[in-house]
Amino acid sequence: MSDTLLVSTRKGLFTVSRKAKRWEITAVDFLGDNVTITLSDRRDGRRYAALDHGHFGVKVHRSTANGWEEIAVPTYPPKPEGYEEHDMWGRPINWSTARIWALEPGGPDEAGVIWCGTLPGGLFRSSDGGQSWEMIRSLWDHPQRKYWMGGGADLPGIHSICIDPRNSKRVWVAVSTGGIWFTDDGGASWSVRGEGMRAEYAPPEQTHNPVAQDVHCLAQCRSAPQRMWVQHHNGIFVSSDEGKTFTEITGVEPSTFGFPVVVHPREPDTAWFVPEIKDEKRIPREGKLVVTRTRDGGKSFDVLTKGLPQSHAYDVVYRHALALDDAGERLAFGSTTGGLWVSEDQGDSWACVTHTLPPVYAVRFA
């Protein structure tokens, strides 16, 4: 079980550690800076932090024996002379990293490989621990990329990257908004997946178009990789065939709207969500912050409240801000209003670490 959390916030990276009686903030890095996501690479112990300095752009830092060092940032290739592409408002899309939205290690057989998802939709791969990055042109140049749209931000972005634990060349990525994309050749070629997902915000002709799906978060069961869970813009979907087809889960109280999902590493039917009322009202229902958990593949859900505020709580939990440890026992989540909670019993009960962090973007167990 993990005793360490990395909490990425609008104003710095907070390391939270399990002490004798409680979890405590034990280190603060990049104080004042916008940390969008981190990665703790279990293969070599290195940590990575993606920063967004606003005026000065996106940067990546990697841990060293003595602190952090700035390393290469994924960089978009030169835009061909005369080539134009525009966002949904008709504004030119700049081929430039606007945010790092996903950082995942390659497989255990791929030392040094890091995958990186960005806005405005570029997927990058490093084979040297972030010293250099290569854009996956086959996905960027895919003709259907032009149908990707802004979802969580004005620009489309890759937020979820799942590496098949059985074969590192098989990779799924999810786009907001642009559906789920799959490669079985290490990124040389891609196809869209996700039949069965439904976009209720799209016109009828587009409702079931896999490329029109706003996947908020994609999670894959490590020991049963055929099982994938999706927290979607308008619901929860589950797949039992590696994301080829999905079934919608309905009738979940208090809601099926939200951003994150995590799945147990050995129990594919067990997954956790943090619901909000609905798309047009992104707050917990009745001011009660809850986590929902299914243990039976979505047939039923527990509404977990013990230790969570049940009055006037307006916490929103972003898609990377709910984490499950490798053992499948400990959970943690952080909120837009600076709350951080930890559970050591699969969500049955929660302890508040602090209410006063900056807005939390991502939480990961180290």
Partner 1 sequence: MAKVVFTPNIQRHVALPESEVSGRTVRDVLDAVFAENPQARGYVLDDQSGLRKHMTIFVDGRMIRDRARLTDAVSQSSTVYVFQALSGG
Does residue number 68 form part of the binding site for partner 1 (CB under 8 A)? no
178, 200, 229, 311 from 206: Cα distances, Å: 12, 9, 22, 39
User: Is the CB of 51 or the CB of 219 nearer to partner 1?
Assistant: 51
Binding segment for partner 1 (CB under 8 A), chosen from 69-77, 105-113, 235-243, 350-358, is: 69-77
Q: By rule CB under 8 A, what string of x and - marks binding of each residue 84-103 to partner 1?
A: ----------xxxx------
Query: CA-to-CA distance for 289 and 278, rounded, in angstroms?
Result: 14
Does residue number 200 form part of the binding site for partner 1 (CB under 8 A)? no
**Count, residues near partner 1 per rule CB under 8 A:** 16
What number of residues does the chain have?
366
Does residue number 169 form part of the binding site for partner 1 (CB under 8 A)? no
Q: By rule CB under 8 A, what string of x and - marks binding of each residue 20-59 to partner 1?
A: ---------------------------------xxxxx-x
* Distance spanning both ends of the chain, measured CA to CA: 10
User: Is the CB of 150 or the CB of 309 nearer to partner 1?
Assistant: 150
Instruction: Answer whether 357's CB lies under 8 Å from 14's CB.
Output: yes
Does residue number 82 form part of the binding site for partner 1 (CB under 8 A)? no
CB of 78 to partner 1, least distance (A): 7
CB of 67 to partner 1, least distance (A): 15
Residues forming beta bridges with residue 360, ordered by sequence position: 9
CB of 41 to partner 1, least distance (A): 23
Q: Out of 3, 24, 70, 109, name the contact with partner 1 by CB under 8 A.
A: 70
CB of 54 to partner 1, least distance (A): 5
Does residue number 191 form part of the binding site for partner 1 (CB under 8 A)? no
User: Is the CB of 80 or the CB of 203 nearer to partner 1?
Assistant: 80
> Peptide bond before 80: cis, by omega within 30 degrees of 0?
no
User: Is the CB of 75 or the CB of 305 nearer to partner 1?
Assistant: 75
Does residue number 132 form part of the binding site for partner 1 (CB under 8 A)? no
User: Is the CB of 156 or the CB of 225 nearer to partner 1?
Assistant: 156
Sign, CA torsion 206/212/216/221: positive
Name every residue whose Cβ is closer than 8 Å to that of residue 236 and which is 6 or more positions away in sequence: 229, 230, 248, 249, 252, 256, 261, 273, 298
Query: CA-to-CA distance for 315 and 329, rounded, in angstroms?
Result: 23
CB environment 10-37: b (16+ within 10 A), e (fewer): bbbbbbbebeeeebeeeeebbeebbbbb
Q: Out of 11, 18, 46, 79, name the contact with partner 1 by CB under 8 A.
A: 79
CB of 117 to partner 1, least distance (A): 16
Query: CA-to-CA distance for 78 and 59, rounded, in angstroms?
Result: 19
User: Is the CB of 34 or the CB of 40 nearer to partner 1?
Assistant: 34
User: Is the CB of 17 or the CB of 96 nearer to partner 1?
Assistant: 96
User: Is the CB of 30 or the CB of 172 nearer to partner 1?
Assistant: 30
| Residues numbered 216-255 forming contacts with partner 1, rule: CB under 8 A | none
User: Is the CB of 69 or the CB of 279 nearer to partner 1?
Assistant: 69
Site of interaction with partner 1 (CB under 8 A): 53-57, 59, 70, 73, 75-76, 78-79, 94-97
